[in-house]
Amino acid sequence: MSGKIRVLVVDDSALMRKLLTTMLESDAAIEVVGTAMDGDFALRKIEELRPHVVTLDLDMPKKNGIETLREIMKRGPLPVIVVSALSTDGALVTMKALAMGAFDFVTKPKDATAHIAEASAELIAKVKAAAECKIRPHLARTAPVTFPKRAVQVHPTHVVAIGISTGGPQALEYVLAQIPADFPGTILVVQHMPEGFTEMFARRLNELCAVTVREARSGDTLLAGQALVCPGNRHMKVKRLALGDVVVLTEEERVNGHRPSADVLLNSVAEEFGSRAVGVVMTGMGSDGAEGLGEIKRRGGMTVAQDEESSVVFGMPKAAIERGYANRVVGLDRMAATLQAACLSANTPDRGDGLNKAGKAAGR
Protein backbone atom coordinates (compact mmCIF):
# COMPACT_ATOMS: atom_id res chain seq x y z
CA MET A 1 0.00 0.00 0.00
CA SER A 2 1.39 3.41 -0.99
CA GLY A 3 1.08 6.20 1.57
CA LYS A 4 0.02 5.94 5.17
CA ILE A 5 -2.64 3.53 6.44
CA ARG A 6 -5.72 5.61 7.23
CA VAL A 7 -7.52 4.46 10.40
CA LEU A 8 -10.82 5.51 11.96
CA VAL A 9 -11.03 4.89 15.73
CA VAL A 10 -14.55 4.26 17.07
CA ASP A 11 -15.13 4.18 20.85
CA ASP A 12 -17.56 5.87 23.21
CA SER A 13 -14.77 6.57 25.74
CA ALA A 14 -12.77 9.75 25.08
CA LEU A 15 -9.87 8.28 27.06
CA MET A 16 -9.85 5.10 24.97
CA ARG A 17 -10.06 7.07 21.71
CA LYS A 18 -7.01 9.08 22.79
CA LEU A 19 -5.10 5.99 23.96
CA LEU A 20 -5.78 4.03 20.75
CA THR A 21 -4.80 7.02 18.63
CA THR A 22 -1.53 7.41 20.53
CA MET A 23 -0.78 3.69 20.21
CA LEU A 24 -1.45 3.65 16.46
CA GLU A 25 0.38 6.86 15.60
CA SER A 26 3.51 5.64 17.36
CA ASP A 27 4.09 3.89 14.02
CA ALA A 28 5.01 6.25 11.19
CA ALA A 29 3.11 4.15 8.64
CA ILE A 30 -0.27 4.77 10.32
CA GLU A 31 -2.41 7.90 10.43
CA VAL A 32 -5.57 8.16 12.52
CA VAL A 33 -7.75 10.27 10.21
CA GLY A 34 -10.64 10.56 12.62
CA THR A 35 -12.47 9.29 15.68
CA ALA A 36 -16.13 8.63 16.44
CA MET A 37 -18.01 8.22 19.71
CA ASP A 38 -20.87 6.04 18.44
CA GLY A 39 -21.99 3.96 15.48
CA ASP A 40 -24.05 6.60 13.70
CA PHE A 41 -21.18 9.08 13.85
CA ALA A 42 -18.78 6.34 12.69
CA LEU A 43 -20.82 5.54 9.58
CA ARG A 44 -20.87 9.21 8.59
CA LYS A 45 -17.10 9.46 9.19
CA ILE A 46 -16.47 6.39 7.00
CA GLU A 47 -18.29 8.07 4.11
CA GLU A 48 -16.43 11.33 4.67
CA LEU A 49 -12.90 10.12 5.42
CA ARG A 50 -12.63 6.81 3.49
CA PRO A 51 -10.37 5.02 6.01
CA HIS A 52 -8.50 1.85 5.09
CA VAL A 53 -9.18 0.23 8.48
CA VAL A 54 -11.68 0.80 11.31
CA THR A 55 -11.12 -0.06 14.98
CA LEU A 56 -14.52 -0.65 16.56
CA ASP A 57 -15.69 -0.73 20.17
CA LEU A 58 -18.66 -3.08 20.59
CA ASP A 59 -20.25 -1.66 23.74
CA MET A 60 -21.54 1.79 22.74
CA PRO A 61 -24.77 3.77 23.29
CA LYS A 62 -27.18 4.45 20.43
CA LYS A 63 -25.96 2.26 17.55
CA ASN A 64 -23.73 -0.39 19.16
CA GLY A 65 -20.72 -2.10 17.61
CA ILE A 66 -22.59 -5.11 16.24
CA GLU A 67 -25.20 -2.91 14.53
CA THR A 68 -22.43 -0.69 13.18
CA LEU A 69 -20.45 -3.66 11.89
CA ARG A 70 -23.56 -4.99 10.14
CA GLU A 71 -24.00 -1.64 8.36
CA ILE A 72 -20.32 -1.46 7.38
CA MET A 73 -20.47 -4.93 5.84
CA LYS A 74 -23.70 -4.07 4.02
CA ARG A 75 -22.64 -0.69 2.62
CA GLY A 76 -19.11 -1.58 1.49
CA PRO A 77 -16.95 -4.00 3.47
CA LEU A 78 -13.91 -2.56 5.22
CA PRO A 79 -11.41 -4.39 7.42
CA VAL A 80 -12.71 -3.92 10.96
CA ILE A 81 -10.64 -4.68 14.06
CA VAL A 82 -12.85 -5.12 17.11
CA VAL A 83 -11.57 -3.63 20.37
CA SER A 84 -13.08 -5.96 22.95
CA ALA A 85 -13.55 -5.92 26.70
CA LEU A 86 -11.67 -8.75 28.42
CA SER A 87 -14.78 -10.36 29.94
CA THR A 88 -17.23 -13.19 29.35
CA ASP A 89 -19.78 -10.83 27.80
CA GLY A 90 -17.00 -9.25 25.75
CA ALA A 91 -15.91 -12.65 24.46
CA LEU A 92 -19.46 -13.61 23.45
CA VAL A 93 -20.10 -10.46 21.44
CA THR A 94 -16.61 -10.60 19.93
CA MET A 95 -17.26 -14.12 18.60
CA LYS A 96 -20.45 -12.78 17.03
CA ALA A 97 -18.53 -9.92 15.40
CA LEU A 98 -15.92 -12.28 13.96
CA ALA A 99 -18.68 -14.50 12.55
CA MET A 100 -20.14 -11.40 10.87
CA GLY A 101 -16.88 -10.69 9.10
CA ALA A 102 -14.70 -8.59 11.43
CA PHE A 103 -11.05 -8.98 10.43
CA ASP A 104 -9.72 -9.65 13.95
CA PHE A 105 -9.86 -8.32 17.50
CA VAL A 106 -7.67 -6.96 20.27
CA THR A 107 -8.54 -6.65 23.94
CA LYS A 108 -8.78 -3.22 25.51
CA PRO A 109 -5.67 -2.16 27.43
CA LYS A 110 -6.69 -1.80 31.07
CA ASP A 111 -4.60 1.34 31.62
CA ALA A 112 -2.09 3.53 29.85
CA THR A 113 1.05 1.99 31.36
CA ALA A 114 0.79 -1.78 32.02
CA HIS A 115 1.75 -3.87 28.97
CA ILE A 116 1.20 -0.84 26.73
CA ALA A 117 4.15 -1.66 24.47
CA GLU A 118 2.89 -5.21 23.90
CA ALA A 119 -0.68 -4.01 23.29
CA SER A 120 0.55 -1.34 20.86
CA ALA A 121 2.65 -3.84 18.91
CA GLU A 122 -0.31 -6.21 18.57
CA LEU A 123 -2.72 -3.48 17.46
CA ILE A 124 -0.26 -2.01 14.94
CA ALA A 125 0.56 -5.42 13.45
CA LYS A 126 -3.14 -6.24 13.02
CA VAL A 127 -3.93 -2.84 11.47
CA LYS A 128 -1.09 -3.30 8.96
CA ALA A 129 -2.26 -6.83 8.11
CA ALA A 130 -5.85 -5.61 7.76
CA ALA A 131 -4.80 -2.82 5.39
CA GLU A 132 -3.05 -5.33 3.11
CA CYS A 133 -5.70 -8.04 3.15
CA LYS A 134 -8.17 -8.73 0.39
CA ILE A 135 -11.78 -8.45 1.49
CA ARG A 136 -13.06 -12.00 1.20
CA PRO A 137 -16.70 -12.86 0.44
CA HIS A 138 -18.56 -13.60 3.67
CA LEU A 139 -18.64 -17.36 4.14
CA ALA A 140 -22.08 -18.94 4.17
CA ARG A 141 -23.48 -19.23 7.68
CA THR A 142 -24.11 -22.71 8.99
CA ALA A 143 -27.40 -23.69 10.62
CA PRO A 144 -27.10 -25.08 14.17
CA VAL A 145 -26.64 -28.84 14.27
CA THR A 146 -29.83 -30.69 15.19
CA PHE A 147 -28.66 -34.30 14.88
CA PRO A 148 -26.94 -36.13 17.77
CA LYS A 149 -23.20 -36.02 18.30
CA ARG A 150 -21.11 -39.18 18.26
CA ALA A 151 -21.89 -41.21 21.39
CA VAL A 152 -19.42 -44.13 21.10
CA GLN A 153 -15.85 -43.39 22.21
CA VAL A 154 -13.48 -44.64 19.53
CA HIS A 155 -9.70 -44.40 19.22
CA PRO A 156 -8.81 -42.10 16.31
CA THR A 157 -7.07 -43.35 13.19
CA HIS A 158 -5.09 -40.09 12.93
CA VAL A 159 -4.43 -36.92 14.89
CA VAL A 160 -5.13 -33.70 12.96
CA ALA A 161 -3.26 -30.68 14.38
CA ILE A 162 -4.38 -27.28 13.10
CA GLY A 163 -2.52 -23.99 13.59
CA ILE A 164 -4.48 -20.85 12.71
CA SER A 165 -4.64 -17.17 13.59
CA THR A 166 -6.09 -14.06 11.92
CA GLY A 167 -9.20 -15.02 9.95
CA GLY A 168 -9.35 -18.29 11.83
CA PRO A 169 -12.75 -18.22 13.55
CA GLN A 170 -14.71 -17.89 10.31
CA ALA A 171 -12.45 -20.32 8.44
CA LEU A 172 -12.64 -22.98 11.16
CA GLU A 173 -16.40 -22.61 11.41
CA TYR A 174 -16.66 -23.16 7.66
CA VAL A 175 -14.35 -26.21 7.61
CA LEU A 176 -15.43 -27.97 10.81
CA ALA A 177 -19.11 -27.61 9.92
CA GLN A 178 -18.44 -29.89 6.92
CA ILE A 179 -16.79 -32.64 9.03
CA PRO A 180 -19.22 -35.54 9.73
CA ALA A 181 -19.91 -36.88 13.23
CA ASP A 182 -18.26 -40.19 12.32
CA PHE A 183 -14.97 -38.50 11.36
CA PRO A 184 -12.31 -41.14 12.07
CA GLY A 185 -9.63 -38.76 13.34
CA THR A 186 -9.33 -36.43 16.29
CA ILE A 187 -8.77 -32.70 15.72
CA LEU A 188 -6.60 -30.42 17.86
CA VAL A 189 -6.71 -26.67 17.25
CA VAL A 190 -4.35 -23.88 18.22
CA GLN A 191 -6.11 -20.59 17.46
CA HIS A 192 -4.19 -17.48 18.55
CA MET A 193 -6.71 -16.05 20.99
CA PRO A 194 -6.60 -14.74 24.59
CA GLU A 195 -7.62 -16.71 27.65
CA GLY A 196 -11.41 -16.78 28.10
CA PHE A 197 -12.17 -16.21 24.43
CA THR A 198 -11.21 -19.75 23.41
CA GLU A 199 -13.94 -21.26 25.59
CA MET A 200 -16.62 -19.12 23.93
CA PHE A 201 -15.14 -19.91 20.53
CA ALA A 202 -15.28 -23.66 21.18
CA ARG A 203 -18.88 -23.42 22.42
CA ARG A 204 -19.92 -21.62 19.26
CA LEU A 205 -18.24 -24.22 17.06
CA ASN A 206 -19.90 -27.04 19.00
CA GLU A 207 -23.33 -25.52 18.30
CA LEU A 208 -22.61 -25.47 14.56
CA CYS A 209 -20.71 -28.71 13.99
CA ALA A 210 -21.53 -32.42 13.92
CA VAL A 211 -18.25 -33.27 15.65
CA THR A 212 -17.99 -32.50 19.35
CA VAL A 213 -15.99 -29.30 19.92
CA ARG A 214 -14.83 -27.99 23.29
CA GLU A 215 -11.94 -26.27 25.00
CA ALA A 216 -9.20 -28.76 25.87
CA ARG A 217 -8.26 -29.79 29.42
CA SER A 218 -5.13 -31.59 30.56
CA GLY A 219 -5.76 -35.32 30.54
CA ASP A 220 -8.46 -35.25 27.85
CA THR A 221 -8.42 -38.50 25.86
CA LEU A 222 -8.03 -38.17 22.11
CA LEU A 223 -11.21 -39.55 20.51
CA ALA A 224 -12.50 -39.87 16.96
CA GLY A 225 -15.12 -37.31 15.98
CA GLN A 226 -13.89 -34.75 18.50
CA ALA A 227 -12.18 -31.37 18.16
CA LEU A 228 -10.33 -29.78 21.09
CA VAL A 229 -9.41 -26.08 21.10
CA CYS A 230 -6.31 -25.11 23.08
CA PRO A 231 -7.12 -22.63 25.89
CA GLY A 232 -5.67 -19.16 25.58
CA ASN A 233 -2.41 -18.60 27.48
CA ARG A 234 -1.54 -22.33 27.43
CA HIS A 235 0.46 -24.57 25.13
CA MET A 236 -1.07 -27.87 24.01
CA LYS A 237 0.91 -31.10 23.61
CA VAL A 238 -0.05 -34.77 23.31
CA LYS A 239 1.18 -37.91 25.03
CA ARG A 240 0.74 -41.56 23.99
CA LEU A 241 -0.15 -43.80 26.92
CA ALA A 242 -1.08 -47.49 27.11
CA LEU A 243 -4.63 -46.69 28.24
CA GLY A 244 -5.21 -43.91 25.74
CA ASP A 245 -3.63 -40.91 24.09
CA VAL A 246 -4.10 -37.66 26.01
CA VAL A 247 -3.76 -33.88 25.86
CA VAL A 248 -1.17 -32.15 28.06
CA LEU A 249 -1.49 -28.41 28.69
CA THR A 250 1.56 -26.43 29.82
CA GLU A 251 2.49 -22.86 30.78
CA GLU A 252 5.95 -22.90 29.23
CA GLU A 253 7.43 -19.76 27.68
CA ARG A 254 5.94 -18.24 24.53
CA VAL A 255 7.12 -19.65 21.21
CA ASN A 256 7.22 -17.35 18.15
CA GLY A 257 5.66 -14.76 20.47
CA HIS A 258 2.61 -16.94 21.07
CA ARG A 259 1.03 -18.99 23.83
CA PRO A 260 -0.61 -21.10 22.53
CA SER A 261 1.82 -21.78 19.72
CA ALA A 262 1.04 -23.89 16.67
CA ASP A 263 4.67 -25.05 16.52
CA VAL A 264 4.43 -26.52 20.02
CA LEU A 265 1.35 -28.55 19.10
CA LEU A 266 2.57 -29.69 15.68
CA ASN A 267 6.01 -30.72 16.97
CA SER A 268 4.41 -32.74 19.77
CA VAL A 269 1.96 -34.49 17.42
CA ALA A 270 4.84 -35.27 15.03
CA GLU A 271 6.93 -36.78 17.81
CA GLU A 272 4.14 -38.89 19.29
CA PHE A 273 2.23 -39.99 16.19
CA GLY A 274 4.68 -39.98 13.28
CA SER A 275 2.94 -41.12 10.08
CA ARG A 276 -0.48 -40.91 11.80
CA ALA A 277 -0.09 -37.15 12.18
CA VAL A 278 -1.89 -34.72 9.89
CA GLY A 279 -0.59 -31.16 10.15
CA VAL A 280 -2.54 -28.15 8.92
CA VAL A 281 -1.47 -24.51 8.80
CA MET A 282 -4.19 -22.02 7.93
CA THR A 283 -4.76 -18.28 7.64
CA GLY A 284 -2.75 -16.03 9.97
CA MET A 285 0.07 -13.53 10.41
CA GLY A 286 3.69 -14.55 10.91
CA SER A 287 5.21 -18.01 10.59
CA ASP A 288 4.00 -19.92 13.67
CA GLY A 289 3.38 -23.55 12.71
CA ALA A 290 5.73 -23.70 9.72
CA GLU A 291 8.54 -25.61 11.46
CA GLY A 292 6.07 -27.91 13.21
CA LEU A 293 4.53 -28.73 9.84
CA GLY A 294 8.02 -29.53 8.58
CA GLU A 295 8.57 -31.92 11.49
CA ILE A 296 5.35 -33.79 10.68
CA LYS A 297 6.47 -34.09 7.06
CA ARG A 298 9.91 -35.40 8.11
CA ARG A 299 8.28 -38.10 10.22
CA GLY A 300 6.04 -39.33 7.41
CA GLY A 301 2.80 -37.55 8.25
CA MET A 302 0.50 -35.62 5.92
CA THR A 303 0.90 -31.83 5.75
CA VAL A 304 -1.62 -29.31 4.42
CA ALA A 305 -1.49 -25.54 3.96
CA GLN A 306 -4.38 -23.24 3.12
CA ASP A 307 -4.04 -21.53 -0.24
CA GLU A 308 -3.53 -17.79 -0.72
CA GLU A 309 -6.85 -17.19 -2.41
CA SER A 310 -8.95 -18.33 0.56
CA SER A 311 -6.64 -17.01 3.31
CA VAL A 312 -7.52 -13.74 5.02
CA VAL A 313 -3.80 -13.36 5.77
CA PHE A 314 -1.39 -15.63 3.89
CA GLY A 315 1.54 -15.30 6.32
CA MET A 316 1.47 -18.62 8.20
CA PRO A 317 0.64 -20.90 5.26
CA LYS A 318 3.00 -18.98 2.98
CA ALA A 319 5.91 -19.56 5.39
CA ALA A 320 5.22 -23.31 5.41
CA ILE A 321 4.82 -23.52 1.62
CA GLU A 322 7.98 -21.53 0.88
CA ARG A 323 10.01 -23.85 3.11
CA GLY A 324 8.71 -26.87 1.22
CA TYR A 325 6.81 -28.32 4.18
CA ALA A 326 3.31 -28.63 2.66
CA ASN A 327 2.35 -31.86 0.86
CA ARG A 328 -0.92 -30.25 -0.21
CA VAL A 329 -2.06 -26.65 -0.71
CA VAL A 330 -5.86 -26.42 -0.70
CA GLY A 331 -8.63 -23.85 -0.47
CA LEU A 332 -11.24 -23.74 2.28
CA ASP A 333 -13.77 -25.38 -0.01
CA ARG A 334 -11.62 -28.54 -0.20
CA MET A 335 -10.11 -28.54 3.29
CA ALA A 336 -12.72 -30.75 5.01
CA ALA A 337 -12.63 -33.36 2.23
CA THR A 338 -8.82 -33.34 2.32
CA LEU A 339 -8.79 -34.03 6.07
CA GLN A 340 -11.43 -36.74 5.72
CA ALA A 341 -9.37 -38.49 3.02
CA ALA A 342 -6.17 -38.22 5.07
CA CYS A 343 -7.83 -39.85 8.09
CA LEU A 344 -9.25 -42.68 6.00
CA SER A 345 -5.82 -43.65 4.67
CA ALA A 346 -4.16 -47.02 5.38
CA ASN A 347 -2.50 -46.13 8.69
CA THR A 348 -4.60 -47.24 11.65
CA PRO A 349 -3.95 -46.91 15.38
CA ASP A 350 -1.88 -49.53 17.20
CA ARG A 351 -2.55 -50.32 20.85
CA GLY A 352 -0.53 -52.24 23.40
CA ASP A 353 2.75 -53.57 22.01
CA GLY A 354 2.26 -51.70 18.76
CA LEU A 355 2.06 -48.27 20.43
CA ASN A 356 5.24 -46.87 18.91
CA LYS A 357 5.14 -48.60 15.53
CA ALA A 358 4.17 -45.41 13.69
CA GLY A 359 6.98 -43.48 15.32
CA LYS A 360 9.56 -46.16 14.52
CA ALA A 361 8.40 -46.33 10.93
CA ALA A 362 8.95 -42.58 10.71
CA GLY A 363 12.50 -42.91 11.99
CA ARG A 364 11.96 -42.15 15.68
Q: What are the pLDDT digits (tens) for 89-129?
A: 889 999 999 989 999 999 987 655 557 888 899 999 999 99
Name the CA radius of gyration of the chain, rounded: 21
The catalytically annotated residue of 52, 158, 192, 258 is: 192
Instruction: Determine the pLDDT at residue 310.
Output: 95
- How confident is the model over 14-57, as pLDDT tens digits? 999 999 999 999 999 999 999 999 999 999 999 999 999 999 99
Q: Mean pLDDT of all residues in the chain? A: 90
**What is the spatial distance between Cα 23 and Cα 81, in angstroms, rounded to a whole number?**
14
pLDDT at 13 over 80: yes
Strand, helix or coil for residue 280: strand
38, 57, 84, 165: the catalytic one is 165
Residue 138, pLDDT score:
58
pLDDT value for 78: 93
Tell me which of 38, 59, 288, 307 is the catalytic residue.
Answer: 288
Would residue 288 show up in a list of annotated catalytic residues for this protein? Answer: yes
SS3 state at 133:
coil
Element at 123 (helix H, strand E): helix 116-132
Closest to 116 in 3D by CA, of 107, 104, 126: 107
pLDDT of 353: 34
Q: Which of 167, 166, 131 is nearest to 29 (CA)?
A: 131
261 or 85, higher pLDDT: 261
Inter-residue contact 284 to 308 (CB < 8 Å) = no
pLDDT score recorded for residue 207? 92
Q: List the domains of the chain with CATH numbers.
A: 5-132 (3.40.50.2300), 159-361 (3.40.50.180)
Helix (H) or strand (E) holding 249, with range, is strand 246-250
Please name the residues in contact with 358: beta carbons below 8 A apart, sequence gap of 6 or more.
273, 274, 275, 276, 300, 347, 350
325 has pLDDT over 90: yes
Residue 188: C-alpha distances to residues 101, 115, 168, 276 (Å)? 24, 30, 14, 14
Three-class SS state of 303 = strand
Q: What percent of the chain has a predicted confidence (pLDDT) above 70? A: 89
Confidence of residue 350 (pLDDT cuts 50, 70, 90): very low
Contact between residue 37 and residue 17 where contact means Cβ atoms under 8 Å apart:
yes
What is residue 243's predicted lDDT score, i.e. its pLDDT?
A: 86
Residue 95 CA to residue 197 CA, distance in Å, equals 8
pLDDT value, residue 1: 64
CA atoms within 13 A on the CB side of 24: 26
**Which pLDDT band, with edges at 50, 70 and 90, does 352 fall under?**
very low
pLDDT at 152: 67
Q: What local confidence, expressed as pLDDT, does residue 116 receive?
A: 83
What integer pLDDT is reported at residue 363 of this predicted model?
A: 38
- pTM for the whole thing? 0.89
Clarify whether 165 is annotated catalytic: yes
Q: Which residue has the higher pLDDT, 148 or 338?
A: 338
Comparing 83-97, 207-221, 248-262, the range with the smallest average pLDDT is 83-97
Query: Is pLDDT of 249 > 50?
Result: yes
